[in-house]
Amino acid sequence: MTFQWPIALALLILVPLLAGLYVWMQTRRRKYALQYASVSLVQQAVGNGPGVRRHVPAVLYLLALTAMVFALARPTATIPVAQNTGTVILSIDVSGSMQAEDVDPNRMEATKQAVREFVENQPRGVKIGIVTFSDFAALVAPPTRERKPVLDAINRMRPQRGTNIGSGLQVALDAIYEDGGDFAPGAAPTPTPPRDGSRPPAATIVLLSDGQSNTGPPPLRVAEEAQTAGIKVYTIGIGTPEGTILQIQGRNVFTRLDEETLQGVAELTDARYFAAADEGELRQIYDDLARERLIEDEETEITFLLTGLAMLISIAAGGLGLLWFNRLP
């Protein structure tokens, strides 16, 4: 927990001062009672009394005061917060191996169906963009809150040739930063902000691949840029690390899932890696990701929590005082 106004914590000195004042007043009360000559009058003045209960309301008021001082310092903490805005870029492998039929009806069609459901499950305030990559990567649907152009881009996806995971991740990052720029009709976008983590956009990348990157920048190097910017990259792998031989356009092609790289990208950016063995698992993964996007850890001011706690403790102190002694402390 951190505080936006830590100087306000100096007011905590009031707590021990008031506690000391309370103890002094209780001591003074007993000394005053002992001045009576009659034992019966002393008993009447002091009596058996309510014992420890007498001090409970006062202690509760001191706890309430402590909570109010902490609230005044405006504390912040990392707590799960519902996210209804932000940007999600789906970076999808469209290499030739996506024609493989080990996932029914094939990897490409199963992916398209799962991605469509993912898009439809996102809150309306979330922008979604689509990047496809084979030998090179392209932004086929810029980030938008409109679902139709995104779904149209998904429907147009077709298997092509090689696998360039690094480029797929790089173009997704570029799309996030360009979307954060100040655009004007007919004008060029503002320069890409520096990726130094000073102003990280509220964005996430979901990257799916079924092969091993054989061209373009190293994926882990690009992942370091995402990490610096505070952007999580969730990765999904289809296929097996052992590899398999597929017949594509009349020729045999060996394809192998580079699970190690996909895991490394996810871990580096504090995200997760998922392995999809069939269509059901793939759809479940995207369904889980849709829900995970709704709740994310965020540095949030929790003044309202401490203020509410102080109010509840004050009510409890007042209620006990009225119940036991027919007065407020």
Provide the CA 119 distance to its chain's centre, in angstroms: 19
Are the CB atoms for 214 and 162 separated by under 8 Å?
yes
Q: At what angle do helices 259-268 and 219-229 cross, to 10 degrees?
A: 20
Query: In Å, how far are 117, 143, 247, 281 from 104, measured between CA atoms?
Result: 17, 29, 16, 12
In this prediction, residues 131-139 reach a mean pLDDT of 94
**Calpha distance 19→16 (Å, rounded):** 5
Please state, in angstroms and as integers, the Cα–Cα distance from residue 243 to each residue in 29, 91, 238, 240, 307, following that order.
Answer: 86, 22, 11, 5, 58
pLDDT score for 170: 95
The pTM score is 0.64
Is residue 70's pLDDT more than 70? yes
Position 151 pLDDT exceeds 90: yes
User: What would the two tokens of residue 61 be?
Assistant: 């008021």
Determine the pLDDT at residue 103. Answer: 77
Strand partners, 68: none
Burial label, 262 (beta-carbon count in 10 A; 0-12, 13-18, 19+): buried
Q: Place 288 in a pLDDT band, splitting at 50, 70 and 90.
A: confident
φ and ψ of 148, to 5 deg: -60, -50
Residue 170 backbone zone (phi > 0: left; psi -120 to 50: alpha; other: beta) = alpha
pLDDT of residue 84 exceeding 80, the answer is no
Question: What DSSP element (H or E) covers 194?
Answer: none
- pLDDT (tens digit, 9 = 90+) per residue, 239-262? 777 666 766 666 676 677 889 999
pLDDT band at residue 55, thresholds of 50, 70 and 90? Answer: confident
Can you point out the beta strands (E) in the chain?
2-3, 75-82, 86-93, 126-133, 137-144, 203-209, 232-238, 244-248, 251-255, 273-276, 295-301
Give the distance from CA 122 to its chain's centroid.
15
* Buried/exposed 129-153: b ≥16 CB within 10 Å, e otherwise: bbbbbbeebebbbbbeeeeeebbeb
**Tokens read off for 42:** 């002393």
Residues of the chain with CATH 3.40.50.410: 84-182+192-293
Position 137 scores a pLDDT of 95
Q: Stretch 168-194: mean pLDDT, rounded?
A: 63
> What is the average per-residue pLDDT within 163-182?
86
Q: Is CATH 3.60.150.10 the right assignment for the domain spanning 84-182+192-293?
A: no
